[in-house]
Amino acid sequence: MAILITGGTKGIGLAVARAFAAQAGTVFLNYHGDDAAALRARAEVAALGADVHLVKADAGTPEGCAALADAARATGVRLGQVVHCAVDAYASPALSAEPARFARAVTTNGTSILFLVQACLPLMDRGSTVFFLTSRGGRIVVENYAAIGAGKAAAEALVRYLATELAPKGIRINCIAPSIVETDAVRALFGDRTAGLMRHAAEANPSGRAVRDADYCNLMKFLASPEAEFITGQVIFVNGGANLSA
């Protein structure tokens, strides 16, 4: 069955698309604005043997999520995996945030998981899985991360509620929390400090290295398999033990 990935043309979303390309067969890559990056992503994933569909839409809105589901419905495929990677990298402390801008970012970064599941549910069957990409910034304070952290915290709570409603339908939903990955969103948040943060994350990790794409993609492949049919509503950290000590 097909896979649909919001924010699928860059960063973590693109890594997931590469990992699932051959297995899924049909891949829907959602993006919001960067047409050139979307075309590069389509070519890269298609070269791995997938039938790739680009869907330009705002995954942070009910209308955008409905457009994503409509694009999949038009092809006649069923969705085996739905992955929410889209992020609005609004960098601001909480107290100085512009209220409307903050609210929009929190919706994209969190509660839009509900819009996406509602839109895609008619296209999913027993055994389908939903993934939300989260981070430990939803549980601890990270500088200028308030709009992302608050959104991810809300999404983690929503996932627990959704898990109990989806379970009778045989559909599972889990949150995946890799340690820091150098993406456009991370660079937007931390600017010139990004390279130093990445080096520090690798050097300070108890496992002696930074996270690799295969670390979280292999976990997602397992969770999407029948062997993981009793795992739902969880937040699973993929970080080599980086969150286990102060």
CA atoms within 13 A on the CB side of 158: 22
Sort residue 241 into left (φ over 0), alpha (ψ -120 to 50) or beta.
left
Q: What's the CA gap between 118 and 114, in Å, rounded?
A: 6
Q: What's the CA gap between 135 and 123, in Å, rounded?
A: 28
CATH 3.40.50.720 fits 2-181+213-238, yes or no: yes
Bridge partner list, 147: none
Cβ proximity of 6 and 30 under 8 Å: yes
Can you give the residue ranges of every domain in the chain?
A: 2-181+213-238
Parts of the chain with a pLDDT under 50: none
Question: In Å, how far from its chain's centre is CA 121?
Answer: 17
Q: Give the pLDDT confidence score for residue 223 in this predicted structure.
A: 98
Q: How far apart are the first and last CA of the chain?
A: 42
Query: φ, ψ for residue 189 (rounded to 5)?
Result: -75, -40
**Exposure b/e, 70-97, CB count within 10 A at least 16 = b:** ebbeeeebebbbbbbbbbbbbbbeeeeb
Q: Give the pLDDT confidence score for residue 111 in this predicted structure.
A: 96
**How many Cβ atoms are within 10 Å of 173's Cβ, its own excluded?**
27
